[in-house]
Amino acid sequence: MDTLVAMGATAAVLYSLYGTLNIFAGDVHFAHNLYYESAGFIITLILVGKYLEARAKGRTSLALKKLMKLAPEEATLIENGVFRTIPTEEVHPGDLLLVKPGEKIPVDGLLVKGATTVNESMITGEPLPILKKPGEALTGGTVNGEGVIEMRAERVGSETTLARIVKLVEDAQGTKAPIAAMADRVSGIFVPSVLAIALGAAAAWFTSGASFEFTLTIFISVLIIACPCALGLATPTAIMVGTGRGADMGILIKKAAALELAGKIDVILFDKTGTITEGKPRMMECNFYNGFSERRALSMAAAVESGSEHPIAAAILAYAKEHGASWKMAEGISADSGFGISGRTDGVNVALGNVEYMNKHGIATLEAASFEQSFTMTGGTTLYLAVDGKLAAAFGISDRIKASSRNAIEKLKRLGLETVMITGDSEPSAKAIASEAGVDRAVWRILPQEKDAEVRRLQSMGKKVAMVGDGINDAPALARADLGIAIGTGTDIAMESADIVLMAGDLGGVEKALSLSRATVRNIKQNLFWAFFYNTVGIPIAAGLLAVFGGPLLQPMYAAAAMSLSSVTVVFNALRLRNFS
């Protein structure tokens, strides 16, 4: 980008040296046609512009610097009841740490003793402190509230959430959006084109009878005013500010291409469990059949579910425990993903699953039909328990939608997006949740492996698809979608597969992420427009357009000032994104 300025300033200095030699030789005519001060002034103006640029660009990475400062330098290690202050980098997984009120959590880990509130706003963007009890996760860099707590370190160093966020933001700021390719292509042919224009304009004036000094001024001014600094700054500065502002708001944009893709999305798919809903199903109702008691049925259900990590399994186990049931893990447990699970306990065969799972195993569920019909109309899921081929119980399990989901989806619809919820639930349950959340359409009875296929089906219709999810089974669909958005409270695999990660656990961040992306791309286009507009107007003036009609000639020093101003203008326009909310 500095090639044109360097050539212009060098031409001025070389001509001035030539003039100086002629003056020493006795030709005083050159005494009034030296350009030393112009060359010096040009370089001074360029340096002043670069300084202002550097100051402004330094502000674009302010969010990243703030993130890096969140990590505390020291931690209090508990060893054999003795407290010892150590550098945070010396903390190892498994270490027991003490955190006092007002201190920063040193690393990621689990709360093992005490209760407190933790301010996680620097990670999630959510302003309200979160109540933490023993067994709950703590994130390094967040601020402990009023309680004295002990925690067990789990992830340290580069594995902490904060370190990974910093790495993601650094990587994103170093990537290019597809729109930048246009600027790169233009810059590739820009310099030789400007050289041709400068030589052509100078030659035209010289052949028309203009003096050599006038011709040289034209040549130098065109080279300097056309320096494509503004063009080169248009995209990267906006990306740096946009991704930095996103990090402030708990929105991690992992690559610049995601910024541009967000503005092209037609339809947005939502996983239901953990994305639209809280992801914490609870047992709400249960009926028992064929003489099975509550405690016996719950014990058998818990026996087959005790080996599962599924949220529904957790709901059944919690309910069984609350109601005094006891159990031991069943033998020969076999799961049919999306349908049910079976095993053997206390000498009997136990099967637990949805109506399709029961039908598959030839187990009649007619007795519980009215229970299922009434419960699924409220958006709940019905599971059946069968023992040795006989229906033993029907469980009504419900997962409430998040408080923010309906409002967030409404905002997305106002952006002109079609909203679709995909779930493995039955049709009545899916429709009830979809209606409550306000999505345009629901797709039900979708198995985990079929989410990817649904994304491909929509893409085959020519639509640009965004997928929002949080679980391991969402990872293929997140990777397949044109834009993958992971809820940060979900699994690491989902976050790795996504293009954008929302550190807060609600859908409000989806609308903010898409709006920020659109604002960033809009800012890039504004920058590119002004960079092109500036050159379109500036080059003809520098080439002597005004002089043709008797106007003044643009002097090189004014061309340098205009060029510097254009670069600074582009950077300050990008900085407006820091005010996005």
pLDDT digits (tens, 9 = 90+) for 72-118: 889 999 998 899 999 999 999 999 999 998 899 999 999 999 988 88
Looking at per-residue pLDDT, the higher value among 174 and 451 belongs to 451
Domain 72-159, what fold? Answer: 2.70.150
DSSP state of 424: S
Domain 248-278+402-516, what fold? Answer: Rossmann fold (3.40.50)
pLDDT attached to residue 59: 55
Please identify which residue in the block is written with the tokens 């290690």: 77
Determine the average pLDDT of the residues in 124-134.
Answer: 72
CATH code of domain 282-398: 3.40.1110.10
Percentage of residues in the chain having pLDDT higher than 90: 25
Q: Let me know if 322 is exposed, middle or buried by CB neighbors in 10 A (0-12, 13-18, 19+).
A: exposed
Tell me the CA distances in angstroms from 293 to 10, 323, 334, 398, 436, one per residue in order: 96, 12, 25, 22, 35
Q: Any idea where the domains of the chain sit in the sequence?
A: 3-62+170-239+518-579, 72-159, 248-278+402-516, 282-398
- Please list the active-site residues: 271
Looking at per-residue pLDDT, the higher value among 103 and 581 belongs to 103
Q: What is the pLDDT of residues 165-199, one digit of tens each?
A: 777 666 655 656 566 666 667 767 887 888 899 99
Looking at per-residue pLDDT, the higher value among 273 and 580 belongs to 580
Determine the average pLDDT of the residues in 480-485.
Answer: 88
Number of helices followed by number of strands (H, E) in the chain: 21, 22
Looking at per-residue pLDDT, the higher value among 361 and 503 belongs to 361
β-pair partners for 501:
252, 486
